[in-house]
Amino acid sequence: MATEPRLIRNFSIVAHIDHGKSTLADQLLLQTGAITQREFKAQILDDLQIEKERGITVKARTVVIYYEYKGEKYELNLIDTPGHVDFHYEVSRSLAACEGALLLVDAFQGVQAQTVANAYASINANLTIIPVVNKIDLPVTRIDEVLEEVETVIGLDPSDALMVSAKTGIGVKEVLDAIVERIPPPDGLADGPLKALVFDSKYDHYRGVVTYVRVVQGTIEKGQTVVLMRGGTKLDIIDIGQFTPHMKAVKSLGPGQVGYLVSGAKELDNVHVGDTIANPRNLPEAPLPGYQKPQQMVFCGMYPIEATDFEKLRDELSKLSLNDASFSFVPETSDALGFGFRCGFLGMLHMEIIQQRLEQEFNIDLLQTAPNVTYQILEQNGNIVLIDNPQDVPDASRIKEFREPVVLVTFILPAENIGTMMQLCADRRGIYKNTEYLGTNRAQLIYELPLAEIVYDMYDRLKSATRGYGTMDYEILGFRSADLVKMDILVKSEKVDALSTIVHRSQSERRGRALVKRLKEEISKHQFEIPIQAAIGGKIIARETIKALKKNVTAKCYGGDITRKRKLWEKQKEGKKRLKQFGQVEIPQKAFLAVLDATKDE
């Protein structure tokens, strides 16, 4: 029997990374009896191996908990979300399935960059926000200052904030009461035309595609035939249920409820996140708004080391893209690396996570090329072309304007580090926008920066400059014209397409020198000399040479006639000449990532 909408509350927990979202989620499950004390362990909702290893949430997870309040039993649907900037798309999808959000703030660290970004995302989604100050059990806290930051930076009433320690359980009952009292119930008629939002999906090896849905209107039942309005695909529902936190079958889901559907669909292309599920006999007037398609900004090539793994890699990438709609891939070939895929990501951490999951969960050895961002080229004939691979850059004579993506970056950092950070931004072609003080010793610094300049190591540099206290968040502003050029790398006079990069002309010589120097360290010596060159068009801008391996061919000649030695040396010289012509240079995986190290060395 579906729960009455007035007794349902759908909410998310949003916060900056490491402010205690998953710990609070665990505590809510424990205090409502969804899990036992024996089952209670750190981050029960973080079930991916990589989440446990890194201690971060990568995937949004959903769970239903039941709470007794004033004699009535309420159904609370919690959607746990990631906090890292790269997974902001996961957060936006989760918020579309909710009516309210708990905004978690660390009692010592206070409001950070992602706190602000997630708060504004919740406000834009018209959610009721409950501010929660977590970690009040810490030996050192700044609760008064943190409440002041909540008011000045985010604009929420500090008197509404709840004081909690997710680790010890202090204040968790007050949080549950506030969810029931403050978050509005979902609206939607049980007898109206069926409308359910697909907000996630994953592939199960035994059951096929498992679709996560939030019912907005109408009722969905086991055995029913439904249609996906965007794709027009019809599905027969074999199983329906909720996460408690483990999968638990139910007969039906009503308005406001969150759960999963199993239709036995094996085709991964049939289910799209953001689609609307409807009854084919009683279609609603219009589908739900769904989601904006995420814009991948970082691309890299992924090639199986074993050529026979190509099809296996394609299958696993399909399964990952089903579970992560912000990831995309297309096949490509490279002269140096053979057959592989060009993969798109939201950021560098997102790329690392996907690569680690492929290697750990699916057992595929990968060779990955250096990542690059998406560029836009205006050709002489007026065509606008998007370039996500430096190999695709057209001839310079065809380019009228080369454009790069620009982002608005918000840094929140200790006031004493402002000078260091401004210098770092100036070195990376940043345009200063604004500085705002959030208290006596913290400030918000806003810059416009090219995405290519921040995507590799800006986060690491920020952490070093601020001793770990600085945080950053960015949003894409669009494309802007810049003096960019394609830099090719030639190894033994042959272009290595996978090492090509796009750089700003003013930095090209410095980057070129740093890159060939790094490649010289990574490529081992061969029996012939290897020149490594960086070139822009036909102009060589940097060169390093790897000397040939020397073998003492006259070691066996003790004294004797010099002509014998000369004969051996001549023979060696001939052999080297032939090798120089036909010998293949082996380029290791590290060399393809040397492009990144070269940017860090500057």
Q: Could you tell me which residues are annotated as the binding site for GTP?
A: 18-23, 134-137
DSSP tag of 151: I
Question: Would you list which residues are annotated within the binding site?
Answer: 18-23, 134-137
CA 308 to chain centre: 28
The three-state secondary structure class of 602 is: coil
* Other residues' Cβ atoms within 10 Å of the Cβ of residue 250: 18
Please give the structure tokens belonging to residue 524. 């081992």
The three-state secondary structure class of 154 is: helix
Rounded to 5 degrees, φ, ψ at 385 are -120, 135
Please give the structure tokens belonging to residue 169. 């359980």
- Give the whole-angstrom CA distance, residue 251 versus residue 254: 10
Tokens 């770990």 sit at which residue?
468
Q: Residue 473: what residue type?
A: D
- Give the whole-angstrom CA distance, residue 197 versus residue 243: 17
In 324-417, which residue ranges form alpha helices assigned H by DSSP?
348-361
Rounded to 5 degrees, φ, ψ at 480 are -135, 145
Residues 6+ apart with CB under 8 A from 448: 406, 407, 408, 409, 430, 431, 433, 477
Kindly write down the DSSP assignment for every residue of 175-226, as one continuous string.
HHHHHHHHSPPP---TTS--EEEEEEEEEETTTEEEEEEEEEES-EETT-EE
Rounded to 5 degrees, φ, ψ at 44 are -65, -25
Burial 397-425 (b: 16+ CB within 10 A, else e): eebeebbbbbbebbbbbeeebbebbbebb
- Give the whole-angstrom CA distance, residue 74 versus residue 543: 70
